[in-house]
Structure 1
Amino acid sequence: MTLSDREHDALDSAEHDDAELIRLSWDDPEQFAALFDRYAHQIHRYVARRLGTQPADDIVAETFLAAFRRRDTYDTAQRLARPWLYGIATTLVARHRRDEERFLRALSRTGVDPLPEPMADTVISRVAAQHETRRLAGALARLSRGDRDVLLLVAWGDFGYEEVAQALGIPLGTVRSRLHRARKKTRAALDGAPAPTTDPTPTGEER
């Protein structure tokens, strides 16, 4: 995994990087609390954008509890734990797939975003460059779970391709194909054109 300049600066300015905190927590569990302080707000925002605020509270708590229980298995060669934590959160979001799709479809019908930051500001500007929240929500609801996970980690998690691959445990090529397909379908929906239905899923790729 390649760290960005911003991530390098954040780690260099911290007393311990993520991997070191996790290693220290093996003997001193209280050290793990620093990871919560670093990432809980980011992960809450990501999950809330997908499911709403109340489910996000529970999923953030479950994410860090699961991470704490698995900390002995963490690969400390990975200095940045963000992909690992987002991967756990995304797996937990998958258990609420129907809730997420209902959330998005309700937004596509009403256009009323329950979160204070408009969806258009965080996704459309990065993905489709058009400010049509209702169409965007409908398009996201129609994506497969795998495509939606990749798109939203890039758009809302600000992940690079390698980070997405690490978070979801999938090959880099799969990240690229899913993101291409998701962007294509989302742009088509925002342009008012029928969403493509003939994109083949690469052999062996989980949707």
Structure 2
Amino acid sequence: MTMPARSGVDAEELDDASIVERSWSDVDAFAVIFDRHAVTVHRFLARRVGGELADDLTGQTMLVAFDQRRRFDLTQRSALPWLYGIATNLLRRHRRTEVRQHRALARAAPDTVQEGHDELVSNRVTAATRPLRKALAGLSAAERDIVLLIAWEGLSYDEVALALGIPIGTVRSRMHRARRKLREALPEEDH
């Protein structure tokens, strides 16, 4: 999408902060933020929850971002850390809801449940990644979010702090603890 700016400059030449600010008066301008970052946000979510749910959460992320665009810190050139923060919060909310639903289902479900074909295939495919998944599961949610934003998405500590709304010192200390826990949990050849 090419959107002329007030100065006659195309949207491709504007940073995200300028686009978000422009979207305050021209709601169509926010489509540039979607075009620039939706695929990246989707990839981040898909790595954590799979493609289908990532589709939903990406849409929700963009909707929340649009609704809260006046809260975006215009001193930040990129909206991506902000979008990661929104996506992470939505993912946490989804997981809390999923846990509650699973507990309710477990109380109501019969004791013997047979796995379907999809579950069997999924279990076999993920067997190779089990040690890493187990190690990541051993981290607190806060530590895991930081590790995945840094390792998978390549965010800097500053960007993670911005995305999660926490001080950079907290990012550093959580990352340090997470690395220590991962070293202890993973077999020597995996790290």
Which range, TM-score by smaller chain?
A: 0.7 to 0.9
C-alpha separation in 1, matches of 2:129 and 2:179: 15
Is 2:107 the counterpart of 1:87? no
C-alpha separation in 2, matches of 1:111 and 1:75: 45
Structure 2 residue corresponding to 1:149, chosen from 145, 150, 175: 145
Structure 2 letter corresponding to 1:59: L
Greater Rg over alpha carbons, structure:
2
Q: Give the C-alpha shift of residue 111 in structure 1.
A: 5.3
Correspondence for 2:123: 110
Q: Give the C-alpha shift of residue 29 in structure 1.
A: 0.5
Structure 2 residue corresponding to 1:164, chosen from 154, 160, 163: 160
| Count of matched residue pairs | 157
Map 1:124-139 → 2, pairs under 5 A: 133-139=129-135
1:159 is paired with a residue of what secondary structure? coil
Q: TM-score, normalised by structure 2?
A: 0.75
Distance 1:143 1:20, change over 3 A: same
Deviation track 1:143-171 (CA, whole Å, cap 9, x = no partner) reads 11100010000011110000000100111
C-alpha separation in 2, matches of 1:67 and 1:21: 13
Structure 2 letter corresponding to 1:37: D
Correspondence for 1:26: 24
Conserved? CA contact 1:165–1:172, under 8 Å = yes
Structure 2 residue corresponding to 1:76, chosen from 74, 77, 83: 74
2:125 is paired with a residue of what secondary structure? coil
Structure 2 letter corresponding to 1:173: G
Structure 1 letter corresponding to 2:137: A
Structure 2 letter corresponding to 1:158: G
Is 2:52 the counterpart of 1:39? no
Superposed CA RMSD in Å reads 2.3
Map 1:4-15 → 2, pairs under 5 A: 14-15=12-13
Conserved? CA contact 1:147–1:182, under 8 Å = yes
Higher helix share: 2
Q: TM-score, normalised by structure 1?
A: 0.70
C-alpha separation in 2, matches of 1:171 and 1:22: 24
Q: Which runs of 5+ in 2 are unaligned?
A: 1-10, 103-118
Conserved? CA contact 1:161–1:176, under 8 Å = yes
Correspondence for 1:49: 47
C-alpha separation in 2, matches of 1:170 and 1:29: 29
Q: Which runs of 5+ in 1 are unaligned?
A: 1-12, 114-131, 193-207
> Identity rate of aligned residues, in percent?
53
1:96 is paired with a residue of what secondary structure? helix
